[in-house]
Amino acid sequence: MFSYIRGELAEVMEEGIVIETGGVGFFVRVPQTVVSALPPQGRIVKIYTHFRVSEDAMQLYGFLSREDLELFRMLLGVSGVGPKAALGVLSVLTADDVRFAVLSDDSKTIARAPGIGPKTAKKIILELKDRLSLEDAFEHRLSQNRQEDDVLPPAMNPQDEAVQALAALGYSAAESLRAVRSLEDTEGMDTETILKMALKKLSRF
């Protein structure tokens, strides 16, 4: 019914935002990752929406890109995952985090979301893995970085840089991603350290 809503960001609340357009204020439920990326109130925003009708309510869910909206819909397609749980996943993790977690079989990361236990996290991976592409995930990450910074080259975190370095060494993209994702406590490490640890992992496979 609604493809997107473009209007003034009138209000930001705990459970969502209000966008005013044509004299009407639309309440849109959004994940916290969207809230943190919004401009100040009073600015014009464009939110891609999913309209859901249930027995007792009609609700709009919103995202900053069509790709993120599509991922939300994919999550809704997983048996046992409703809109609240799907929104919870995308509040704790960015859409890119979800994509990479699914592609690297990282159920622990997905299980960090409220209402998502280990079994549901594994089910999400099982049902979405064949619908996501590693190449598309990297392209989306680079595209996001370009949009955020039109002057500087796209900035990647050390984990992603290590994955690309491994791929350049001849490992497949899937192997490279799995090796880096399997490492623990890489927060704060530089690319070289992560790369060395990942290479040790790969040597044992």
d(CA 45, CA 32): 16
Shared domain for 169 and 108, answered yes or no, is no
pLDDT tens profile 8-54: 999 998 889 999 999 999 999 999 889 888 999 999 999 999 999 88
State both tokens at 146: 């370009």
Its domain, for residue 52, covers 4-63
Shared domain for 45 and 96, answered yes or no, is no
Shared domain for 163 and 190, answered yes or no, is yes
- Cα separation values, 101 from 104, 120, 125, 129, 142, Å: 5, 14, 8, 10, 17
Report the CATH number at residue 37: 2.40.50.140
pLDDT tens profile 149-203: 544 444 568 888 888 888 777 777 778 888 888 888 888 888 888 888 888 888 7
Strands 58-63 and 24-29: parallel
Q: How many domains are contained in the chain?
A: 3
Of 131, 157, 175, which residue constitutes the final position of a domain? Answer: 131
pLDDT tens profile 114-130: 889 999 999 999 999 88
Which amino acid would we find at residue 177?
L
Of 98, 113, 131, which residue constitutes the final position of a domain? Answer: 131
Position 150 scores a pLDDT of: 46
Report the CATH number at residue 84: 1.10.150.20
Shared domain for 120 and 164, answered yes or no, is no
d(CA 18, CA 10): 5
Of 63, 91, 110, which residue constitutes the final position of a domain? Answer: 63
Shared domain for 45 and 84, answered yes or no, is no
